Amino acid sequence: MPNLRYVVALALASLALAAPAPAAEEARMRLRDLGISIGHYPTGKFNAITDVAGVKVGHHTLAGPPGTPIHTGVTAIVPRDDVWNKKVFASQFRLNGNGEMTAAHWIEEAGWLETPILLTDTLSIPQVSDGVVTWMENHYPDMGLGDDVVIPCVAECDDSFLNDQRGRHNLGAHAMTAIEQAKSGPVAEGAVGAGTGMTSFRFKGGIGTSSRMVSKEDGGYTIGILVNCNMGTRGDLRIDGVPVGQEIPQLMPKSKPSEGSIIMVLATDAPLLPHQLNRMCRRMAMGLARTGTTAHHGSGDIAIAFSTATVVPHYPKELTMPVNAINNTHLDPLFDATIECMEEAVDNALCMAKTTVGRDGNTVYALPYPELRKAMRKHGHPVK
Amino acid sequence: MPNLRYVVALALASLALAAPAPAAEEARMRLRDLGISIGHYPTGKFNAITDVAGVKVGHHTLAGPPGTPIHTGVTAIVPRDDVWNKKVFASQFRLNGNGEMTAAHWIEEAGWLETPILLTDTLSIPQVSDGVVTWMENHYPDMGLGDDVVIPCVAECDDSFLNDQRGRHNLGAHAMTAIEQAKSGPVAEGAVGAGTGMTSFRFKGGIGTSSRMVSKEDGGYTIGILVNCNMGTRGDLRIDGVPVGQEIPQLMPKSKPSEGSIIMVLATDAPLLPHQLNRMCRRMAMGLARTGTTAHHGSGDIAIAFSTATVVPHYPKELTMPVNAINNTHLDPLFDATIECMEEAVDNALCMAKTTVGRDGNTVYALPYPELRKAMRKHGHPVK
Amino acid sequence: MPNLRYVVALALASLALAAPAPAAEEARMRLRDLGISIGHYPTGKFNAITDVAGVKVGHHTLAGPPGTPIHTGVTAIVPRDDVWNKKVFASQFRLNGNGEMTAAHWIEEAGWLETPILLTDTLSIPQVSDGVVTWMENHYPDMGLGDDVVIPCVAECDDSFLNDQRGRHNLGAHAMTAIEQAKSGPVAEGAVGAGTGMTSFRFKGGIGTSSRMVSKEDGGYTIGILVNCNMGTRGDLRIDGVPVGQEIPQLMPKSKPSEGSIIMVLATDAPLLPHQLNRMCRRMAMGLARTGTTAHHGSGDIAIAFSTATVVPHYPKELTMPVNAINNTHLDPLFDATIECMEEAVDNALCMAKTTVGRDGNTVYALPYPELRKAMRKHGHPVK
Amino acid sequence: MPNLRYVVALALASLALAAPAPAAEEARMRLRDLGISIGHYPTGKFNAITDVAGVKVGHHTLAGPPGTPIHTGVTAIVPRDDVWNKKVFASQFRLNGNGEMTAAHWIEEAGWLETPILLTDTLSIPQVSDGVVTWMENHYPDMGLGDDVVIPCVAECDDSFLNDQRGRHNLGAHAMTAIEQAKSGPVAEGAVGAGTGMTSFRFKGGIGTSSRMVSKEDGGYTIGILVNCNMGTRGDLRIDGVPVGQEIPQLMPKSKPSEGSIIMVLATDAPLLPHQLNRMCRRMAMGLARTGTTAHHGSGDIAIAFSTATVVPHYPKELTMPVNAINNTHLDPLFDATIECMEEAVDNALCMAKTTVGRDGNTVYALPYPELRKAMRKHGHPVK
C-alpha cells in the first residue's frame, strides 16, 4: 500500500516545514568571506554553477526541527531551459562507484544529457526519478506516444545518519518543485536541498558551489561546479593544503556516520566534445583529492560534466550539425580552473553548512570558524 | 497529485486483469519444439536461466484485453535467496546505451550484485525501483539505520507502441509481487511480465530464455540467459543463420514501433571473477549479433552477467575470502555456449510471444510458424 | 647482439623474396566474384577501405618458398597524407584483448589518430613501431626538438603457425616501405602484407577489405573496412548465415594453430565524433560475430575506427575548430552498413588467401571454392 | 639503414658512460631525511617498491657529461621471478592519456601481467620493447613455437628537453640489462634509469619510490609505488600541502620543457582481484593530485597496479585456481596508504634528482633544500 506511506510522508514533511526555526541560528559564510580563496582564476559573478549562462539550480528542503527524523531534500540542476529539445554534450566519470547516478549508459553512449540532474538521498532516487518523469510528461505531452521516453539522471548520497532515509520523504512532487523553482543567480549552499542531511569530513556537509573564468585569450569561458558533499574522514580534511582536519579533532559526531559519497556536477560554456567533458570529470576528481578525501570503498564519488556551448537537437531532420569544438591543446586553463573550482566548491559546502541535529539526536557540527582561522594562520595561510 | 495517478492506474490494471482471455488463443511453442536448436551444447533441464541452481524468475503481467491501453509488466530475476547477504560477482556491458540498467556504477565498482534484477518498461523504472526499495526495507529492517542502503538494479525496454507507457502502470507493489513469486523451474516466455508489450524484429517479442551445459571435463557448469527482446527490424532477423526476416515480409505492424532495446541477463555457476563476467557479457553481444539485429541508435542493448559460484559476504569480519576462480585459458567452452544460448533465448522469445493488440489498436503479430518452417526448409535447415 | 639478428633476418628475407613463385599458383577470387554478396548497401568503386577518399594501403610481404620459415609481413593503413598535421578523429574498442594495438591510451584520450596504422605479427610490433618512428622523424625533423614525439599505432596477430615469428623478420625498414608504398585504389588481399602468415577458421586467412556507401539522403558517405583475419575455429564459420565451416570439415591443418585474433580498421568520410566512432567499432564487433567466430580467450579482437571528415590541426593557434558532426539519430544506416561491410571484409580475406606451406611444413589450406559453392547451394543461397 | 644508427648510438653512449663525473656533485637526500614524511602509515624497510617481497627494480642509465646530448635510460620493474609462468593480477588506469603504456588491452582483458614493466623515453619504446622480446625469447625458448608470444608492457615519459630523444639511445640490450640487473633492496632514485632526463614541476624529476605497511589487523600488507616523474608546472607543486612551488619561483629552466607525464607503478602483496587493482590505480591518481599537478593535456599520466598475492599459472591443466581475495569492505586502509605513498614517491623523485645539464645546454635544476626547508617552516610544517 504505497499510498499510505505517501500520506504519512507528506504529513511528516508538512510538520517539518511548519516548525519554527532554531532560536539562535548561526550565521554562515562562504570560504572567500573568510579571506580564503583557492587558486588564481577569477570567479564568476556569483561564484556559483549558475555563472554559466542558462544554468539554473533549485532546492526543495525537508528539514524538521532539531532532533526530528526528517532532514533531507532534493536539488535540481537545470542545464538550460527545454534541455530535452536542446540537449547538452555530457559525460560521466566514476572515481568510486558506491553510489548511483542514473542514465549512465545513455549519457556515455549518446554523449549528451537531455534532462535536469537531480540530487537526493539514496532511497529517494526512485520517487525523485518518478517526479522527473511526471515533470517531463507534463512538459512533453507526446512523450511515450510519438516522442521518445525519458531516462532521468538522478544521483544520490546517503544521509541516513541525520535523516530517516527509510521513510523516503523526498517525493516526486518535491523533485518537480525543485525543477520548477530552479533559477539563475546565487545558489543556496550547505544544509539545503539534497545537502540537508549530508556529513562531510565528520562536519556538516551538503551543497557547495563555485565558479571560475578563464582569460579572454583562453576563450573567456566560465566553469561552474556544484557538489553535494557527504564524504571524508576528519583527519583527511585539507583546505588549500592546510591540514585543517588534523587541527580540529573536536566536534566529532558521537557515532560514525555512514561512509561518504560526493556528487560532482560541472557546467561550462566552453565548447567541449563529449570525450573532452570526460577529461573534465577526471579533473574534478583531482580537485576532490586536494580536499584530502580518499574515496573510501563506501563512497560514491561520481562526476558529470556538461557543456552548454552546443545545442544538440532532438530528432533533427538535418543529417549533421555544426559544432564548434575547443582544440585539445587549449584545454589546460580549463583543467586548471576545474581543479581549483572543485576544491572551493567543497570548501563552500563545509563553510556554509549549519550544525544539524537529526534523527535520534544524531548531531553533526558545522565547521567552526575560529578553529578554522587558527589552523590557517598556524600554517601561514592568509585568513580574515 | 501522484496519488490520483496511482488510483487510476490500479483501477485500469484491475480492469485489465479482470478481462476475459481472448477467445481463440494461439498455442505457442519454443524453438526446439519446432525442431530447431542453436549450436551443439546440451541445454539444462528447463532450457532456462533457472537451470542455474538457485536462480529464480518471477513475472507480474498487466495485459488488458486486445485494444486496451495496458500491456506491460515486470520481470524479476533473483540471483539467489538473500542475495543482499550472499552477493554474487557481476558485471555489466553496454553494446548500445539508449536504455537504462541502474546500479551500473556500483556493480562495476564492487564487482558484485546484491539485489534482484528487475525488468520493466522505461517510464516504470522509478516505481519498480521504489518497489525494490520497499521489498528490501521489509526484508532488511536495519537498512538505512545500522545497515547500508540499497541501489536497485532495474532495466528497461520501451513498450510504448503497445502500452500506455505514460500511465506508468507498473507499480512498486507489482515489482514486489514479481520478486515474491519468483521461482525455480520453467520460465514463462513471450508476452509475459516485462515482455508483455515488447516488439522484436517487428514481430511480437518479450521474454525468452535458454541454457547450456558444458562438459564434465570443462567443469560441468551451467549457463542460463534470460532476455527481454524489443529490438530489431524485420529484414535483419536470422534464426540459426537463415534470413527468416527477409523470407517473411508480411505481418508487419501498421506503423513503426519505437526503436529497439534488449536487456540480456546471464547467470552461471561457473566460478568467474568480475572481469571475466564482463567477458561473458561481450559474448552475449556476439550472440545477439547472430540474430541479425544491428543495435540501432535508439536501442538500449545492455547486458549483465553474474556468477553464483562465490558467496560474497555482506560486511564480513574477515579480511579475505577464499574464491575459486576459473582459469582464463579454460573459458572458451563458456564463451561458445554463451553465444549459442543467447541466440536461442532471443528465438524463444519470438517463438513464444503471442499476437498482441495494444493501445490504440496497435497490433504486433506473432512470428508465424508455417512461414518460419518454410523459410528454414528453403535454406536447408532441419525443422519439424 | 641485435645487429647479428638483423643481418640474418635481412639475408633470410632477401632469400625469401628472391625465391621463385610456386609453379601452379591457384587463382583466387573475391566473395562477389563467386556471386555472393553480404547485405544490401552498394560498395564503393573498389569495394575496399581505399574507397574512402584519401585512405591508402600499403603492404610489405615476406613470403618465402613453401616450407621455408618466413611467412609474414607488414600492412600500413594511411588515414590521409600528413596525418600528423591533419589528424583524424578516432576511437578503439576491445572485443577481446588477447592482442595489442598500441597507442590505445592516447587515441581514447585525445579522440584522434595522428599516425598511420601498422599491422604485423606479434613479436614484430617493436621493430615495426621503430620503423614508424624513423619514418616520422624523417618527415617531421622537428619531432623531439620543438615538436612533440610520436606514439605509433601498431596492431598484431600471431602468425607463428606458419611463420618463424621468433625471428622477428619484419624490420623497421619494412614498415617504412609499407607506408611509402601505400596507395589508393584496389587493395591486395589474402596472404599479403601482415596477412601473409595468418590462419582464420583453420583456413588460410589474412587481409580482407570491403566498403559500403549509404544513400544520398543518408549523406552519401562511404565506409571502408580492412581486417587482418587470424581468428575462428572451423565449425563456427558462417558466410551470409550459411554454416560453411560445418559443411567443409576437410582441409584442416595437421596441428592446431595458435588462437585467433583479428584487427579491424574502419575508415569513413562520415563526420563522426570520437564517441560516435567508438559506436562504429562495436558494430564492427557485431559484423565479426556474424562470421561465426566466438572471440576465444586467446584471440585479440581489436577494432579502430577513424573519420576523415574533420581535419584536426596539430598545435593550432586557434582556440576552437569548426566540426560538422552527424546527428546520432541518423547513424543507423552507417551502423547497418558497417556490420555487413565487416562480414564481407572477413569473407574476402578467406576467399582471396592462398594455400600456404609455412615453417616446418605447417600447411593452411585456402577456402576451396567448389565446396563453398556446394555449401551455399545446399542452404539455398545464390552463388556463381 | 637502422644499423648505422645503432652504431652511432652505441658510440655516443659509450662516450657518455666513459665521461668523468661532475666535479662537485651535490649530495641528495630522500624526503624523510629532510624530516618530512607524508601521512601516517609506516613505510617498509627500504621505503621502496621493493619492500613488496619478490619485486625487483633495475636501471640502465645513459647519462653523458653535462651539456652532451644523451640523458636517458631504462628502468625495469620485475613483479617476480618467472612472471611469465607465475603471473600477477593487474590493472591499468589512464588519468590522462597523452602517453603510452603498452599491453593495455591485454592486461585489462586478462586481469593479469606476465612480463616485467619497462620505463623509458617515448621514442625508445620500440627498441626497449624489442629488448623485452629478446629477453623473453632467451628465457622461454618455446615462445612462438609451442608457447604463446609475448606482448611487452613498456611505458614512457618524454625526456626530449634534456635528451636527444630522436637518437633513440635506449637499445634493446639496455632493456635486457635493466631486467637482468633488477634486484631487491634499496632503489636508486632521481636522475637514474628512465628518470635520467625527466623534468617535474620544472625541477629535475625522475624515479621516486615509497612504501607503506598496513597494520596486522588490516592484514599486514605492504604497498610499494615507483614513479617516473615528468609532470607538473612550478606553481602547482605542493609537498604535504605546502605550496612549495609558489615559494620557490627561482631556478626555472630557461625554456619550457615539453609537457608532463608520469608513470605510476604499484605493487602489493595484498590479495586484490583485478577490478580491485583498478581501484588502487585511481587512488594513485588521487595521491598524484595532492602533489598539485593538474594532468595537462600534454601529460601521459598512466597507472598500473599488480598484486603478488596470487600466482596465476600459465596454461594450467586445472580448470580453476584457488584465490584469496580481500573483501571490498576492508580496502580502506590500502586506499589511504596508497594515496600517501604515492605522494611521497613523487617527493622522493624531486628530492633525489640532481641538477642536470642536457642537450644543447638545457638545464633543469634540482629542488633546492634550503628553499624547501624555508617554505615548509613558513607554513608551519616540521622539517629538519
Higher pLDDT, C13 or B188: B188
pLDDT over 90 (residue B12): no
Q: Which residue of C has its CA nearest to B260?
A: C332
Strand ranges inside chain C, DSSP E: 56-63, 71-78, 86-97, 112-113, 117-121, 153-157, 199-200, 203-204, 206-213, 222-229, 262-268, 300-313, 320-326, 356-357, 363-364
Please list every residue in chain B whose beta carbon sits closer than 8 Å to the beta carbon of residue A302: 105
DSSP output for D182-196: -BSS----BSSGGGT
Q: How many CB pairs under 8 A join B and D?
A: 83
Picking from C93, C237, C280, C286 by the largest number of B CB atoms within 10 A of its own CB, the best residue to mutate is C286
Q: Identify whether D258 is a catalytic site residue.
A: no
What's the grid cell of residue A193? 536541498
pLDDT in tens, D57-103: 999 999 999 999 999 999 999 999 999 999 999 999 999 999 999 99
Q: Please say if the pLDDT value at position B15 is more than 90.
A: no
Residue of C nearest to B94 (CA): C282
Q: Which is nearest to C257 in space by CA: C234, C277, C273?
A: C234
The DSSP code sequence of C202-266 is TEE-EEEEEEEE--TTTT--EEEEEEEE----GGG--BTTB-HHHH---S--SSPPPP--EEEEE
Q: Which residues of A touch C316 (CB under 8 A)?
A: 327, 329
d(CA B372, CA C85): 55
CA distance, residue D231 to nearest chain C CA (Å) = 15
Catalytic machinery residues of C: 261, 299, 301
Chain mean position to CA C262: 8
Q: Quick one: DSSP state of residue B42?
A: P
Q: Which chains touch A (3 or more CB pairs under 8 A)?
A: B, C, D
Which residue of C lies nearest to B329 if distances are taken between CA atoms?
Answer: C297
CA-wise closest residue to A338 among A287, A274, A279, A273: A287
- Listed by start position, the domains of chain B span 4-316+323-378
Helix axes of B332-352 and B274-290: crossing angle, nearest 10 degrees? 50
Ramachandran region, residue D67 (left: φ > 0; alpha: ψ -120 to 50; beta: rest)? left
Q: Is A320's CB within 8 Å of C218's CB? A: no
Closest CA–CA distance from residue D130 to any residue of chain C (Å): 5
Alpha helices by DSSP H, listed for chain D, are 2-18, 104-110, 125-139, 172-180, 244-247, 274-290, 332-352, 369-378
Distance CA(C380)–CA(C372), nearest Å, equals 13
What pLDDT, in 10s, does the model give residues B87-100? 999 999 999 999 99
Interface contact flag, B160 A149, Cβ < 8 Å: yes
Q: Find the residue in D nearest to C140 (Cα).
A: D166
pLDDT for the residue numbered D297: 96
pLDDT of residue B256: 79
Instruction: Tell the CATH superfamily of the A4-316+323-378 domain.
Output: L-amino peptidase D-ALA esterase/amidase (3.60.70.12)
Q: Which of D323, D324, D326 to mutate to test the interface with B (most CBs of B within 10 A)?
A: D323
- Taking the mean position of all CA atoms in its chain, how far away is CA A100? 13
CA–CA separation, D126 vs A87, rounded Å? 44
User: Which residue carries 504529513 as its cell?
Assistant: A11
Q: Three-state SS for B20?
A: coil
Cell of B109: 565498482
Q: What is the pLDDT along chain C (384 residues), one digit of tens a residue?
A: 344 554 555 555 555 554 444 445 579 999 999 999 999 999 999 999 999 999 999 999 999 999 999 999 999 999 999 999 999 999 999 999 999 999 999 999 999 999 999 999 999 999 999 999 999 999 999 999 999 999 999 999 999 999 999 999 999 999 999 999 999 999 999 999 999 999 999 999 999 999 999 999 999 999 999 999 999 999 999 999 999 999 999 999 988 777 789 999 999 999 999 999 999 999 999 999 999 999 999 999 999 999 999 999 999 999 999 999 999 999 999 999 999 999 999 999 999 999 999 999 999 999 999 999 999 999 999 999
Residue D260 has a pLDDT of 81
Q: What is the ipTM score, two decimals? A: 0.94
The secondary element (H helix, E strand) that includes residue C131 is helix C125-139
Q: How far is C260 from chain A (nearest CA, A)?
A: 29
Low-confidence ranges of chain A (pLDDT < 70): 1-25
pLDDT digits (tens, 9 = 90+) for B99-131: 999 999 999 999 999 999 999 999 999 999 999
Write down the pLDDT at residue D191.
Answer: 98
A109, A279, A325 ranked by CB distance to C323: nearest = A325
Q: Give the span between the Cα atoms of C258 and C264, in whole angstroms.
A: 19
Listed as ranges, residues in chain D with pLDDT below 50 are 1-3, 6, 16, 18-23
Judge contact between D361 and D234, C-beta under 8 A: no
Helices (H) and strands (E) counted in chain B, each on its own, are 8, 15
Q: What is the pLDDT of residues A276-316, one digit of tens each?
A: 999 999 999 999 999 999 999 999 999 999 999 999 999 99
Residue with cell 563555485: A210
CA C76 – CA A350 distance, rounded (Å)? 56
C-alpha cell at A364: 553533526
Closest CA to C267 of C281, C248, C251: C281
The Cα–Cα gap between C334 and C331 comes to 5
Chain C residues within 8 A of A323 when measuring between CB atoms: 273, 322-325
Q: Which triple of cell numbers denotes residue C219?
A: 549523406
Q: Are A9 and A168 in contact, with CB atoms under 8 Å apart?
A: yes
- How far apart CA A264 and CA C357 sit, in angstroms, is 60
Beta-carbon separation of D321 and B316 below 8 A: no
* Conformational region of residue C72, where left means phi above 0, alpha means psi within -120 to 50, and beta covers everything else: beta
Distance CA C325, CA C310 (A): 9
| pLDDT surpasses 80 at B316 | yes
The answer to whether A211 and A44 have CB atoms below 8 angstroms apart is yes
* pLDDT (tens digit per residue) in A186-219: 999 999 999 999 999 999 999 999 999 999 999 9
- B299 as an active site residue: the answer is yes
CB < 8 Å to C109, chain D: 94, 96-98
CB D196, CB D228: distance < 8 Å: no
Q: What Rg do the C-alpha atoms of chain B give, in angstroms?
A: 20
Phi, psi of D256 (to 5 degrees): -80, 120
The number of beta carbons lying within 10 Å of the beta carbon of residue B53 is: 13
Contact A151 B99 (CB under 8 A): yes
Q: What pLDDT score does A257 carry?
A: 73
* Mean predicted lDDT score pLDDT of chain B: 94
Answer yes or no: D215 catalytic: no
Average model confidence (pLDDT) for chain D? 94
Residue numbers in D near B315 (CB within 8 A) = 329
Choice among B261, B269, B307, B347 that is catalytic: B261
Q: Which residues of C touch D104 (CB under 8 A)?
A: 104-105
DSSP string, C7-51: HHHHHHHHHHHHSPPPTTPPP---GGGGT---SSSPP-TTSSGGG
Whole-angstrom CA distances from A197 to A42, A68, A378, B206 are 31, 12, 31, 42
